[in-house]
Every structure is written in C-alpha cells, then in structure tokens.
Amino acid sequence: MASAQVMLPVIAAVALVVLAAANSFASYASDRTLDRLTGEGRERIAKADGVATALADLERPPGAAEQSGAAADVVKRRAALQLAVRRLDDLASPAGLSTAESGRLAAIRKSLVGIDPLSPDPLKLAGLRDELGAYRSAKRTDISVLRTEGERGRLIRFYRSLAAILLAFVGGGAAMFGLARARRRAESALARATRELAEAERAGRRARSFMEQVGQAATVMIYARDQDLNLAYANPAALAAVGRTWEEIAGRRGEDLAYGRESVREHEISDRQVLETGEAMTFTRVTQFAGRRRRTLPALYQVPAS
C-alpha cells in the first residue's frame, strides 16, 4: 500500500513531463513545417522571377534581330529562351506541386517553347508574364496563409495527435511488456509452488510409508484418531489387543473396541486434551481390553493432518 502511494505521485509527474514534451514537440514541429513550406514558396517565387527576367530579354521589337544583323544578338536571344525554359523546368521540378499548379507550369512551358527567339510574339510574351504574375501572387498568398495563427494551430493539433498516437503505441508496448513480464513471474512462481507442493506430497508419502512400516513391525499398540475421535488408524498389535479386524473398527469410537465404559471416557478425555493443547501426554493407565484389565503406558501425540 505504501509503495503504491509513493508510485502515484511519480506516475503523475512522469505523465506531466510527457505531456509537456509532447506539446513542445508539436510547437517545434509545426514551426519547422511552416518554415519549410514558406521557404519552398519563396524559392519558387524566386525561380518564377528568373523566368520573367529571361522573358524580358526576349521582349524586343519585331524584326530587331534582322535589322541589326548582329549575330551576337541572335545568339543572345536564343540563350535567353533556353535559360527561360531551363528555369521553368527547375520551377516545376520540386515535389509537392498540386495538380492545378503543375498544369499551369506545363502550359507556360509549352507556350514558351513555341516562341520564335528571333521574332517573339509580344502578345504571347505578355500572356506568359501574366501567367507568371498570377503564379507569384498565388504563392505569396499561400505564404501569408501559412503564417496565420489558424494554420499554425492546425499544424500544432496535427502534431499533437501524432505525438499522442506515438505515445499510445509506446505506452501500449510498455504495458504489454510489463504484463508479459508479470505473467512470466507468475508462471515461474506457480511452477515453483507446484514443485514445492509435489515435493511436500512425496515427503508426506514417504513419512506415511515409514510410519506404516513402523506400525506394522511394532509390538505395542499404535492407533490414531481424527478430530471427532473416530479411529483413523490401528496397527496389528492394537487390532490383536481388541480382537477385531481393521474393517470392523475403522471410523468407530472407543466403545466399539470392547473397552469398559470408564476406560472409554478416560481415553476420550485425554485424547481431546492432546488435540486441543497440542502437547504430548505420557501416563500409566489400567485399561480393559476384551474383558481383561491391563496396565498400559499410553503416549499420546498430536500428528499434523496431511
């Protein structure tokens, strides 16, 4: 009882520490998740800005390359288009894009690949700039939503639930381990008790066998009574003294042994005294057996029940 009273505050303290740790984990994990998501959003905005910069290099008056006749200008415009496509591929490469977002980026890339680097269509370039602008605006909106208290609270609840599930698994595993250990201990204790009981039974059988051998060989009367003073055992010498067989006197009282009435009363008084006190008695008595009076030296002992 005392150990249980000591353990209850300890268990309560451990539970509080675990709850505080789970709450700290939820706050930390939610903040890290928000940092990662907003970082990814800012990175995608920067990549979209790179595509827009490359598109700006393509935006020239129609036919400017042919009018200038400069080979370097042609190379530059082709390189700008290749750079825009490559940056758009980088923009679409991170995992976690939604279907709508991925479809928008694929459409922008398809339109970009179809542009003539020497004579780009101004309407197409303007449309691509608008698409990229809408994409950047959507990502900034996502970042602002992520930084709201509601979104942070949602993530905290999610990680708290995750921590609770993990704790439940760990606690359940610990409980199962404890139960299995307690079961092994109980089974071990039961096996030990069974062995001890079997050994005690074997010892009892050996003792009874020894006493029976002693009784069979003894030339003096040896008998035993139960709690009701009925005969439970009599050796051959006792049977010969009363002139009866064991089947005739088994479970009977002294008056069935051909004692005199006075002898029966004296025997019962002394036998009951030994049963009640547990102390052995030795005395001289004149007992009547089968009509003859004999001087006897009874020795009475209480034998534990087996």
| 62 — pLDDT class (breaks 50, 70, 90) | very low
The verdict on residue 152 lying in a domain is no
Alpha-carbon span 234 to 220, nearest angstrom: 11
The verdict on residue 270 lying in a domain is yes
The verdict on residue 160 lying in a domain is no
Give the pLDDT confidence score for residue 259 in this predicted structure. 56
* 120 shares its domain with 232: no
* Residue 101's CATH number: 1.20.120
Q: Domain ends where: 103, 130, 147? A: 147
The verdict on residue 68 lying in a domain is yes
Alpha-carbon span 304 to 300, nearest angstrom: 13
Counted domains in the chain: 2
Query: Cα–Cα distances in Å, from 173 out to 182, 195, 237?
Result: 14, 33, 69
Q: Domain ends where: 147, 164, 183? A: 147
Range of the structural domain that residue 116 is part of: 16-147
pLDDT (average), residues 251-268: 65
* Residue 258's CATH number: 3.30.450.20
Alpha-carbon span 53 to 142, nearest angstrom: 23
3-state secondary structure of 110: helix
What pLDDT digit, counting tens, does each position of 178-192 carry?
788 888 888 888 999
Alpha-carbon span 66 to 200, nearest angstrom: 115
The verdict on residue 203 lying in a domain is no
Give the pLDDT confidence score for residue 60 in this predicted structure. 61
Give the pLDDT confidence score for residue 65 in this predicted structure. 47
Alpha-carbon span 245 to 248, nearest angstrom: 5
What pLDDT digit, counting tens, does each position of 150-172 carry?
777 777 777 778 777 877 777 77
The verdict on residue 29 lying in a domain is yes
- Average model confidence (pLDDT) for the chain? 75
Q: Domain ends where: 98, 114, 147? A: 147
Q: Are 257 and 273 in contact (CB under 8 A)?
A: no
Nearest Cα residue to 300 out of 230, 275, 107: 275
List residues bridging with 224 in a β-sheet. Answer: 233
* 138 shares its domain with 39: yes
The verdict on residue 129 lying in a domain is yes
